[in-house]
Structure 1
C-alpha cells in the first residue's frame, strides 16, 4: 500500500463518480462509469484516490466501495483518502461546517461503511469550522488512529495559522493540505512575489501558507488542477487562448499531452505539489499519464513563461 511519503505525484479526485448530486440510488450505469474511470487511473499509474463524504451525497464513496468489492486486491494497491467536516443543507437547516469530535468519528465510520474498507489511509478535515475546539478535534483524531480506523491525517482549505493551531493539539503529524491551485488559480503563487506591491492586499491568499507547508513537510494537494480545461480545449478569453497555444506547443515539443504540461507546471514547484484531477473521462485521465510518471521536465524558463503568459502581465 502506498503512503504519503512514497505515493505517486498525481491524485485522482472521485467527486465526479456516483451519478447525480442527489439522494437517488446508484444505477448500473453509474457503476460502469466509475469503474471505467478507476481502471483508466490505475492503468495510468495513479494510486491515490481522493473522496469526501459529501460528494454526490455519499454516492461517490458508495460506488467506489462497489468497485473495491468487485476488484480483488485493488484496496491493497491504492491509497484511499476521504474528507469530512462539511454538512450539506437539509430542509430548513443550511449547509454548515462541523468539526466537533463526535461528528468527525461518526462521519469516518459512515465513510468506512460506504467504501467497504476497514481503514482510511488519510483523513482530511474538509473546511475550517470556526466553532471547533482544536483540543476536541485532536482527541477525535487520536481515537480514530488508536482504533486503527485512520492511518494519517491532514486538512483542506486551511491557512498556516489554522494548521499550526490544530497541530498544537495533536501529536499526529498533519501530512497534507488540499487547496485550489492551478495555472489559472494562481493566488497561492502570486502571494510569493507581490510582497511590497500595491496588488498584495488584493491577492487574498493567506500569506505564508505555502511556506508553512514546505517547512513542516505537509504535502500540498491541488484541487482544480486542470483548471476546468481552460488550457486544454475550453479556453474562452484571449489570455486563455494564448496560454493554451503555449501549452500545446510545449506538449508537442516534449512528446506529451497538454494536460500533462498543465499538471507538470504545478509539480515543478519546490513544494512538490500533488495535483488532483477531477475528470471521470477515461481518455482525459489517460492524457495525464506522463504526469503520474513525473515526466517530462519543464525548464526554469519554460515554467516562468507559462506563468507570465497565464497572468497576462509581466512579473513585478
Structure 2
C-alpha cells in the first residue's frame, strides 16, 4: 500500500518560519484535531523548520508515535534560478532531512521542481533506490508537466507516486512561483488514469476563500492574491460564501470540501495559524457537498469540465 493512502485528510504545511513556540503550538493544535501528516522541506529556513518539527516530535514521543505520522519533505528546490534536480542532491537532501527531523525514514519525498534535461529514468532509479534502502517509503513529484508526470508514473509502476500541484476552486492567472503549476485538466487526466494521490498546495488560494483581498496583504502574499483576483474566482468565492451561510460552516470548509469529487484521492495542504482557523479547516473533513452544490461551485469558477473528467 502506498504511504499516501495513510495521509490525514488535511496536511499541515506552510514554511514554519514563525518563532519555535508558535510552530509548536500549531503542531499541537493539528495533532489534537486528529491530523497526522506534515509537509516540510530542507529549504524552509535553511533546514530550521525541519529541526523544530524534529524536536517537537521527540518531545511529544509519548503521545505522538512516529509510526502513526506521515512526514513529507520536498527536495531539489532551485537555487539562484538554477536547477538542482540531480541524484546526488536528492540523496544528500534526504539524508539531511532525516538528521534534522530525527527520524530513520521519510514517509514521502517529493521533487520540488523538475528539470526536463534530466532523464526520467535517472530520477526514478534514484528514488526507487532510496525506497529500497528504507530511507523513504514513498515518493512523488511537484510541478512537473503532464507528459513528464505520465512518463515518471509509468517508470516506477507498480509503485504509485504522489503528484503535488497547486489545486483549488480558484485558478490563478499565472504561476504563483517560477515554474510552479496549477493542476490543469491535462494533469488531472494523468493523475486519474494512473490512480495517483494529489497533494493540493495553496488549496485555499492564500486566504482568498477566507475573504482576504490583495489590499489586505503586502509583499509576496499580495502578489499571489492579485493572481487569484479574477472575475471567475470572485464568482466562485461569492458562491462559497452563499453555501457556507446555508450550511452554517466557515467558507474555507466549503472550499476544501469541493476539492474531493468522486474518483479523486486529494489531500489539501493547509497552514492555519489560530485555533479558530484550524477548527474551520477541519470542519471540511465531515462536510459533504451535495451534487448540486459541487456543480454550482464548479460552474461559478468555470470548472464544469472537472465533473466530466472525474466521471
Same fold (TM over 0.5): yes
Q: Secondary structure at the match of 1:140?
A: helix
Question: Shift in Å at residue 276 of structure 1?
Answer: 1.0
For residues 217 and 118 of structure 1, the distance between their equivalents in structure 2, rounded to whole angstroms, comes to 28
Query: Which of the numbers 132, 140, 145 marks the counterpart of 2:131?
Result: 145
| Kept after mapping to 1: 8 A contact 2:169/2:298 | yes
| Kept after mapping to 2: 8 A contact 1:142/1:172 | no
For residues 241 and 205 of structure 1, the distance between their equivalents in structure 2, rounded to whole angstroms, comes to 19
Other-structure match for 2:269: 276
- 238 and 109 in structure 1: CA distance in 2 versus 1, 3 angstrom threshold: closer
Query: Which of the numbers 55, 69, 72 marks the counterpart of 1:78?
Result: 69
The structure with more helix, counted as a fraction of residues: 2
| Kept after mapping to 1: 8 A contact 2:166/2:182 | no
Other-structure match for 1:155: 141
For residues 154 and 236 of structure 2, the distance between their equivalents in structure 1, rounded to whole angstroms, comes to 42
For residues 171 and 230 of structure 2, the distance between their equivalents in structure 1, rounded to whole angstroms, comes to 17
TM-score (norm 2): 0.80
Question: Shift in Å at residue 122 of structure 1?
Answer: 0.6
Q: Which runs of 5+ in 1 are unaligned?
A: 20-29, 89-93, 188-202
Q: Which one is further off, 46-55 or 302-311?
A: 302-311
1:159-238 aligned within 5 A = 159-171=145-157, 173-185=159-171, 208-235=186-213
- 223 and 269 in structure 1: CA distance in 2 versus 1, 3 angstrom threshold: farther
For residues 153 and 279 of structure 1, the distance between their equivalents in structure 2, rounded to whole angstroms, comes to 25
| Kept after mapping to 2: 8 A contact 1:16/1:280 | no
Other-structure match for 1:26: none
1:88-107 aligned within 5 A = 88=79, 94-107=80-93
Q: Secondary structure at the match of 1:49?
A: strand
Query: Which of the numbers 35, 60, 69 marks the counterpart of 1:46?
Result: 35
For residues 216 and 125 of structure 1, the distance between their equivalents in structure 2, rounded to whole angstroms, comes to 19
| Kept after mapping to 1: 8 A contact 2:7/2:267 | no
Post-superposition CA distance 1:223-269 (Å, at most 9, x none): 11011121222146695665444323322322322111010011235
Question: Shift in Å at residue 170 of structure 1?
Answer: 3.5
Matched residues, number: 281
Post-superposition CA distance 1:133-175 (Å, at most 9, x none): 3332233212211221000111111133112322444356243
Question: Shift in Å at residue 124 of structure 1?
Answer: 0.8
For residues 240 and 104 of structure 2, the distance between their equivalents in structure 1, rounded to whole angstroms, comes to 42
Greater RCO between the two (CA within 8 Å, min separation 6)? 1
Q: Which runs of 5+ in 2 are unaligned?
A: 174-180, 215-228, 307-311
Question: Shift in Å at residue 300 of structure 1?
Answer: 1.9
